[in-house]
Structure 1
Amino acid sequence: MGPLAGVRILDLTTVMMGPSATQGLAELGADVIKVEAPGGDPVRYIGPARHHGMGALFLNANGSKRSIVLDLKSDGGRAALLRLCEGADVLAYNIRPQAMGRLGLGYDDVRAVRPDILYAGMFGYGQEGPYAARPAYDDLIQGAALLPFLIARAGDGTPRYVPAAIADRVVGLAAVGAISAALYHRQKTGEGQRLDVPMFETMVGLTLADHLGGLTFDPPLGEGGYQRLLSPERRPYRTRDGFICALVYNDKQWKSFYEATGRADEFASDPRLVSIKTRTEHIDALYAEVAATFRERTTAEWMDLLERADIPFVPVHDFGSILEDPQVQAVNLLPVVDHPSEGRIRKIQPATRWSKTQAVPHRPAPRLGEHTRSLLAEAGFSDGEIDRLAAEGAIGLG
């Protein structure tokens, strides 16, 4: 099931960016074959695990895939991959294109055996620029895409990374969209193509969409930066007994907030509150005043008040409370399921809802090389060929 049912993807990606993209495609119904080196994807060994090579990060980025172990540096492993390419719709990778070329697996090598294949690369930088051959990691791309600078400007002046692999995840989502669109194009035209999804350019575009500001214009009409997002007071509000997230944003919400807190006259007389333009110009001071008001009541009191005033709010969750959130439970976002080797695990479900082709995880994250023999057999390898490749070390049998 799923809208991509019938699509086969060879997944040469590792760590986080590529695997999160291919897991998204797998959950949309694609048959994703995870091609691993003899040692496996390094992320297999990160985080808590019940069994070696089945760590928590791996389980959460590689569901609904099959695993085959090929030594792509060997002639036999490379030949096996090219034979698998004959029946594949997409080859996805996230090492530098130069490294793919050294393996003899560049675009020209692959399309020689499957002319209409989609050759999708996720890597650091666009290949037309001077950074083309540079390595890239999430932290580096965050820095290059202004995120630590923005955090410093909105905070105490200390640059920091976002405490999530945000660049890997965002670029992974961009790759899902690009690959899906390329599949649609191929369906209409029969044409395969090479797709490059660069981290740097994707993340710079994402950040500057909010913060290009006056630099949008030539000559500039001011410096970059969206004032509201950069306000040091834009953060969860401290209450008498905890914290709460609330956003007083549009005209109606600001009016309702002042009325609900007994200050309707202030709202009517304060010129800063006239429009979104004037509020943005004075956002630091206004947010500071709102923050002071939130200290006057408990979190429960604020939840009741904000609900009645129709002002958006949510609790400040931690790792424990998010599991108990009634919305999370109602939509079954984090169910506990049975994994055939890892026992009971919590599995993050796809958030999208489809009326006819619902995307669902359709198999558990695989053990290293679990499907090597069966996948090679599907590609037409005989038992003797498989045994010979295993004896040579070109493949690994799980």
Structure 2
Amino acid sequence: MTSVTDTTQSLLGALAGLRVVDLTGVVLGPYATQILGDYGADVIKIEPPGGDIMRQAGPMKHLGMGHIFINTNRNKRSVVLDLRQAEQREALLALCDTADVLTYNIRPASMARLGLSFEALHARNPRLVVCGAYGYSEGGPYSDWPAYDDLIQGAACIPWLMTQSGSHEPRYVPATFADRVTGLHMVHAVLAAVIARYRTGVGQHVEVPMFECLLQFVLGEHLGGETWQPPIAPMGHSRMLAANRKPYATQDGHICALMYTDKHWQSFLRLIGQPELFTTDPRFGTQSQRIAHIDALYGFVGEHMRTRTSAQWLQDLAQHDIPVMPMMKLDDLLTDPHLTATEGWLDIPHPHEGLLRQLRPPVRMTNTPTGVWRPAPTLGQHTQEVLREIGR
């Protein structure tokens, strides 16, 4: 693994010179602002005296430095401010006077009660981009409802879709899927607003609602026949919902394989000694026929996959240019040969936590590198440093 910790290198990042005041907590907002920090932005994380709640999510070596916090808050400086106190709220406003972006993930009414409405912030710094990420867009009956990842997954039909694709009961995706999907939308929304400000000289308020962002992902496939008015077919995408769309069981494990094109299917049928099926079985001849019979086709492949070991199938399918991949377990990633070859893992020395394992930022640029400039901060680590920078 490669070790990277040089804060001066952040000055080479694509977003060097962009200052982000980050009021977000938990996962959604911190994930987004970490990405901005990976691109070189100066991200100043404002935390209440008790800190971001994710500091307490174990495992951890030291109180307040839980693993999820560490893995979602690198490349940031931590400043502790109690925004219920007038003097400390004024310090935040003074910091916003120097900033390009302010991010938050509480409801706008709560921001207004703190004296931090967009109107108040815009009056002080007309160039400030203010980005709010919260559960539901303003103006609807859900607008004031609390929102967490599980709830938004439910609202966007994901547990129900699990039952339609063969699960015995509704299930959430076992990751903070809604938070991180919305976080990615938050990143590009902030950057779009900053680019617009370069043209107009004026900042704006940006709304990034979890519900609507996740629906963009889900309905990209599952709007189906309702794409047309009047509808021409039911909602849902048959390939995504096929009960047999899952890793294939082999003699000794599982693999992931996909026979998608005509060439893939012809190659697979030759491999199993039944090439004639491509022309004699109406399920195999065209893409549209295969989609119409997709669950049966997955079942057909599954029967044959049980006849060989995973290693045999990985070799045979690859030799026939059929897309295939092992079904990885979490531990496999630690020794994955691709991540090793591409230096995907980094060793990050932390002054409080010791040596940390981090994934390298996935996006790489030739002239403005991404990187891990700072490990996740301890609570309030940079309070005095940042306040001195604004003369307080």
What band does the TM-score fall into relative to the shorter chain? over 0.9
- The one-letter amino acid of 2:277's match is E
Give the 5 Å matches for 1:154-169. 154-169=165-180
- What is the CA–CA distance in structure 1 between the aligned matches of 2:368 and 2:221, rounded to whole Å? 34
Cα deviation, 1:35-89, whole Å, max 9, x if unaligned, reads: 0000000000102111110110000000000000000011111111001011000
Alignment of 1:229 with 2:219, yes or no, is no
Q: TM-score, normalised by structure 2?
A: 0.96
Query: Secondary structure at the residue paired with 1:335?
Result: strand
Give me the whole-angstrom Cα distance separating, in 1, the residues matched to 2:278 and 2:327.
28
1:369 aligns to what? 380
Query: Is the partner of 1:241 in helix, strand or coil?
Result: coil
Q: Is 1:73 matched up with 2:119?
A: no
Measured after TM superposition, the shift of residue 268 of structure 1 is: 2.6
Higher mean alpha-carbon deviation, 259-268 vs 94-103, is at 259-268
- Structure 1 residue aligned with 2:251, among 240, 245, 249? 240
Distance in 2 of aligned mates of 1:156 and 1:68:
45
The aligned runs of 1:110-259 (5 Å cut-off) are 110-259=121-270
1:240-284 deviation per Cα after TM superposition (whole angstroms, max 9, x unaligned): 000001111111111111112211122231111111100010011
Q: For residues 307-346 of structure 1, what are the structure 2 equivalents within 5 Å? A: 307-346=318-357
CA-based RMSD of the aligned residues comes to 0.9
Post-superposition shift, 1:123?
0.2
Equivalent in the alignment of 1:293 = 304
Counterpart CA distance in 1 for 2:197 and 2:381 is: 31
Matched residues in 1 for 2:167 and 2:337: separation?
35
> Residue 108 of structure 1 aligns with which residue?
119
Secondary structure of the residue that 1:272 maps to in structure 2?
A: coil
1:46 equivalent in alignment to 2:57: yes
Aligned-partner residue type, residue 182 of structure 1: A
| Letter in structure 1 aligned against 2:182 | V
Match of 2:294 among 277, 283, 286: 283
Q: Which amino acid aligns with 1:291?
A: G
Take 2:364 and 2:95, find their aligned partners in 1: how far apart are those partners?
A: 32
The 3-state SS of whatever aligns with 2:196 is helix
Secondary structure of the residue aligned to 1:259 is helix
2:67 paired residue number: 56
Matched to 1:316, the amino acid is M
Assess if the C-alpha contact under 8 Å between 2:166 and 2:243 holds in 1: yes
1:334-389 CA deviation, whole Å, 9 max, x = no partner? 222211211111112111121111111211110000000010000111xxxxxxxx
Partners of 1:156 and 1:247 in 2: CA distance? 21
Distance 2:329 2:84 in 1: 44
Q: Distance in 2 between matches of 1:269 and 1:166?
A: 43
How many Å separate the matches in 2 of 1:285 and 1:319? 30
Q: Percent identity?
A: 48
Gaps of 5+ in 2: 1-11
Could you say what secondary structure the match of 1:10 adopts? Answer: strand
The CA distance in 2 between the partners of 1:107 and 1:44, in whole Å, is 28
Rounded to whole Å, the distance in 2 between the matches of 1:369 and 1:191 is 31
Maintained 8 Å contact 2:277/2:284: no
TM-score, length basis structure 1: 0.94
For the residue of structure 2 that corresponds to 1:271, the secondary structure is coil
Of the structure 1 ranges 35-44 and 200-209, higher mean CA displacement relative to structure 2 is found in 200-209
- Asked whether the 8 Å contact 2:153–2:159 carries over to 1, the reply is yes
Residue in 1 that maps onto 2:6:
none
> How many Å apart are 1:324 and its aligned residue?
1.1
Q: Distance in 1 between matches of 2:218 and 2:311?
A: 35
Q: Offset of 1:157 from its aligned partner?
A: 4.4
Q: Report if the CA contact (8 A) 2:165-2:242 is conserved.
A: yes
Within 5 A, what are the aligned runs for 1:12-27? Answer: 12-27=23-38
Within 1, Cα distance between the matches of 2:283 and 2:166? 24
Q: Which amino acid in structure 2 is aligned with residue 298 of structure 1?
A: T
For 1:161-184, what per-residue CA distance to the aligned partner results, in whole angstroms no more than 9, with x for missing partners?
110000000000000011011111
CA distance in 2, matches of 1:133, 1:325: 44
SS in 2 for 1:264: coil
The aligned amino acid for 1:118 is: V
The match for 1:396 is none
